[in-house]
Structure 1
Amino acid sequence: MQTLKLLFVLLLISFEARAKDVQECEEIAAGSHICREIESFQQLNGYVQEDWRSVKVINEHTGIESGGTKALPALSRLLHLDLSESGGLTLGDRGLRDFTQLEGLNLTHCQLEELQEEHFPRNSSLRSLDVSYNDIQLITGKVMDRMPRLVYANFSNNLVAEVEINAFKGLRKLEFLDLTTNEQENVTLGENANLRYLSISNNNVRDFRWCRLRGVPNLEELHLHSNWLENLDMGLFFATPRLRVLNVSNNNLYEIKANLFAAANERAVPLQLLDYSSNNVKVLEDLVFVKLTNLRTLNLWLNQINRIHPRAFQGLSALESLQLQGNKISALPDEVFSMLTSLERLDLSRNKIKQLGASIFGGTLLRQLTHLNLSHNNMMELHPLAFSGVPHLRELRLRGNKLTVLDLRMFAPLRRLQLLTIGENRLEEIEGDILETFGNLSHLEINNNRLSYLSSLQTSEYLLQLRHIRIEGNPWQCLCLDEITAWLDKRQVGYARPSSAYYSGRKPLCVVTPMEQCLRDLEAVRAHGLVESYEQI
């Protein structure tokens, strides 16, 4: 009897222990589980059941180690293993060899210093390997040869200073290789005929020769941003004739040469996105992009561009987005944008442009252009016909210039305009005829000008679609401001911003005048010195 009691107690303890173990692993979807506080692969092997396919280990108080020399057959059932939150991984003699069927392996943040060939099963089934955010210094061919089916490889955010020549040659299915944020000075990839995406960004590369890419003829995306490149030699598209994306931003490049885009048999190159931003380019020569007839996006912001030749953008008939903000452009040649018939977005903000002439868009209607940004320049003058070639604009940004007057002819063609920012200028008046053209405008910014009144809104049909307006920072006559805010409130147009100094009482919203009604005569306003009075408050 005593023996039976003892046996019962042992069975109960075993059952409770097993129940506790089951609680450590929970199913989150069919075949997918999260296991917590797993210290070893042996322990994990004890949990894995026949129908398990995916496991993520989450440890808060321990790391995980492979350890032991015995085979762990249950682990071969898993197709996906995520140890990114395991607290660190120690690979012993058997490494990951028991995971013979793994297709996806995530070892990010595992404190790994190296990968050895004996860590992986021969002829591994891996298709996706992520070992980012570790301390790996070397990538060898012997390790990579264990993964012949690999499609995706992420080695970013390590300390990789060397990649053995032809380390990826045997990976005939590899399409994606990320080596971002490592310590490479020279790129020695060797051959990989199927590679489509390659990033060697944020390394220490100073000299990059396109001949080093001859082994990757099917490459479609190349990212080299945030290195120390000072020049790019010709031949890129001889080595990579299918390249669609080239990112060389945030380097020390001083020029863009037309021969960079030379291709075999004088054919047009397939490039669709070119990012040359955050470099030191000063001049855009004529015909520099003429070979890029398929280009959709051209990023040139934050360079030192101070001169654009009249035919610099010739050939870019497919271009949809041109980013030129943050340069030193002071003048734009006539018709400089006239050939960009597919252009949708043009950003010229934060330059030194002094005036906008009548012909920068030429005689061609740019029917696709919907977004134009000219904010934060030095413009004192806009030609009345400056926007006549862009009648389909939906957003026009002119904030932060030195404009003193608006002409009806500027806005008459812009009947589709939905957003207009003309705040932070020197406007004293906006005529009613101009407001009348804003029939589709939903967002208007006229803040921080020298406006003291607007045309009477009470009986007008102005701004019927307006939903938001910024008006603060102007020397409004208080009577005029009362009329404006009453009209805005009636139309349920948003204008007050509680966080603004003007609406919190720290700065004045208007000027009290002795007049009994809103004065709408600019000369009379000037005679009363309302602007000066406001600026002295």
Structure 2
Amino acid sequence: MSPRSREQQQRTLFLLVLSVASAQGDIPSPRECLTYQSDSGSSVSCYSPSTFPSPLPGDTTHLSVEFSSLTQLPADALRGAPGLQELHLSSNHLEELPAKLLVPVPGLKVLDLTRNALTQLPPGLFQASAALHTLVLKNNRLQVLQASWLRGLKALGFLDLSGNRLRALTPGLLANFSFLRTLDLGDNQLEDLPADLLQGPLDLERLDLQGNRLQVLGEDLLSPQPGLRYLFLSDNRLALVAAGAFRGLRQLDMLDLSNNFLSTVPKGLWASLGKPARNMQEGFDLSGNPWVCDRNLDDLFRWLVANRHRMFSQNGTCCAGPEALRGQALLAVAGSR
């Protein structure tokens, strides 16, 4: 076993011991945070502390402070850990962050702020965070997102904004993200998206827009991202998808359009997807829509027959009309044409 593999195994064991201690009610106090030391540095985990742990070991590389009632952090909370690479602050009650919180940790790669009470981020928060790759802001209370809040994130590859209260996004929000591969905007309140949202140097592989209030998917939103492989649009209010909405998405392996208001789709919509061009490796889901199974769906019917082996919820993807076909599976109707 390589030294790196051995170290990873030891750290996994450490986290397992911590979770068992937590399950048994042996939650460490801020002064009794569990510390695991390895050749690459210390990992510190504090569960349900009443104050932020201080001082931190000078060689701390991983820090978890979670499941607490903390609403604020000291501005100098990380000053003693210049080599910090991962910071996990999930499941607290943080309402705001100090603008210079991350200045002492320029090598930080992962920041997890899941399940807090953040309504905004201070401009300049990431001014020293050029190495940050993963930013998770899931399940906070963000209603807006300003481009200035994200300035400085030159290496960002993973951005999770799901489960907030976002109603709109500012134009040019992602214009400077060259390495962004995963963008999760699911479970917000977005009714439309800026036309330039996906323009710029970013090269997305995964886009999650499920659980919003989108009504229309236009011609040009997705076209700047020909390398997109996973697209999630379920649980919106989509009633209209433009004929060229998927044009050029020849790498798409997963498409979820389930639980929308689609009754028909334009001819040519599926030309770039699946067979005969290529296989969709992960599949697609069109269930939960009020499909009207008339001649306007002939193009979709042909595509379904060619790609049936990648179709999820085959028996649950049914016609809502006309009356003679109500309740019949789309695939069965397609096969009879």
TM-score if structure 2 supplies the norm length?
0.80
Find out whether 1:233 has 2:74 as its counterpart: yes
How far is the alpha carbon of 1:484 from its aligned partner? 3.4
Tell me which residue corresponds to 2:51. Answer: 207
Find out whether 1:404 has 2:249 as its counterpart: no
Q: Aligned partners of 2:247, 2:33: CA distance in 1, in Å? A: 58
Find out whether 1:391 has 2:226 as its counterpart: yes
How far is the alpha carbon of 1:277 from its aligned partner? 0.5
Tell me which residue corresponds to 2:156. Answer: 319
- Closer/same/farther in 2, CA of residues 295 and 466 from structure 1, 3 Å limit: farther
How far is the alpha carbon of 1:473 from its aligned partner? 4.6
Tell me which residue corresponds to 1:219. Answer: 60
Does the CA contact (< 8 Å) of 1:435 and 1:462 recur in 2? no
Q: Name the Cα RMSD after superposition.
A: 3.5
Q: Aligned partners of 2:230, 2:33: CA distance in 1, in Å? A: 46
Letter in 2 for 1:432: K
Tell me which residue corresponds to 2:285. Answer: 445
Find out whether 1:374 has 2:209 as its counterpart: yes
How far is the alpha carbon of 1:195 from its aligned partner? 8.3
How far is the alpha carbon of 1:237 from its aligned partner? 4.2
- Per-residue displacement from partner, 1:151-200 (whole Å, max 9, x unpaired)? xxx576559xxxxxxxxxxxxxxxxxxxx95241546899x997833343
Does the CA contact (< 8 Å) of 1:357 and 1:383 recur in 2? no
Q: Report matched runs for 1:478-497 at 5 Å.
A: 484-485=331-332
Find out whether 1:251 has 2:118 as its counterpart: no
Q: Aligned partners of 1:384, 1:131: CA distance in 2, in Å? A: 50
Does the CA contact (< 8 Å) of 1:132 and 1:158 recur in 2? no
Q: Give the SS at the match of 2:269.
A: helix
Letter in 1 for 2:266: E
How far is the alpha carbon of 1:437 from its aligned partner? 2.2
Unaligned residue ranges in structure 1 (runs of 5+): 1-126, 134-153, 160-179, 489-516, 519-537
- Per-residue displacement from partner, 1:263-282 (whole Å, max 9, x unpaired)? 2xxxx711111111010001
Q: Aligned partners of 1:232, 1:297: CA distance in 2, in Å? A: 20
- Closer/same/farther in 2, CA of residues 354 and 242 from structure 1, 3 Å limit: same
For the pair shown, which has the larger CA radius of gyration, 1 or 2? 1
Tell me which residue corresponds to 2:310. Answer: 467
Letter in 1 for 2:50: R
How far is the alpha carbon of 1:311 from its aligned partner? 2.5
Tell me which residue corresponds to 2:134. Answer: 297
Find out whether 1:424 has 2:259 as its counterpart: yes
- Per-residue displacement from partner, 1:333-377 (whole Å, max 9, x unpaired)? 11112222211111111111111121123x41422x111110011
Letter in 1 for 2:257: I
TM-score if structure 1 supplies the norm length?
0.52
- Closer/same/farther in 2, CA of residues 132 and 375 from structure 1, 3 Å limit: closer
Q: Aligned partners of 1:132, 1:331: CA distance in 2, in Å? A: 39
Does the CA contact (< 8 Å) of 2:86 and 2:110 recur in 1? yes
Q: Aligned partners of 1:457, 1:309: CA distance in 2, in Å? A: 39
Q: Give the SS at the match of 2:332.
A: helix
Does the CA contact (< 8 Å) of 1:319 and 1:343 recur in 2? yes
Does the CA contact (< 8 Å) of 1:357 and 1:382 recur in 2? no
Does the CA contact (< 8 Å) of 2:308 and 2:331 recur in 1? no
Q: Report matched runs for 1:143-292 at 5 Å.
A: 158=21, 181-186=26-31, 196-203=41-48, 205-208=49-52, 210=54, 212-213=55-56, 216-263=57-104, 269-292=106-129
How far is the alpha carbon of 1:414 from its aligned partner? 1.6
Q: Aligned partners of 1:276, 1:419: CA distance in 2, in Å? A: 28
Q: Aligned partners of 2:130, 2:139: CA distance in 1, in Å? A: 24
Q: Give the SS at the match of 2:63.
A: strand
- Closer/same/farther in 2, CA of residues 401 and 281 from structure 1, 3 Å limit: same
- Closer/same/farther in 2, CA of residues 411 and 296 from structure 1, 3 Å limit: same
Q: Aligned partners of 2:226, 2:18: CA distance in 1, in Å? A: 49
Percentage of identical aligned residues: 23
- Closer/same/farther in 2, CA of residues 226 and 482 from structure 1, 3 Å limit: closer
How far is the alpha carbon of 1:313 from its aligned partner? 2.0
Match of 2:298 among 430, 434, 455: 455
Tell me which residue corresponds to 2:5. Answer: none
Match of 2:189 among 333, 352, 363: 352
How many aligned positions are there? 313
How far is the alpha carbon of 1:259 from its aligned partner? 0.4
How far is the alpha carbon of 1:296 from its aligned partner? 1.6
- Closer/same/farther in 2, CA of residues 457 and 247 from structure 1, 3 Å limit: closer
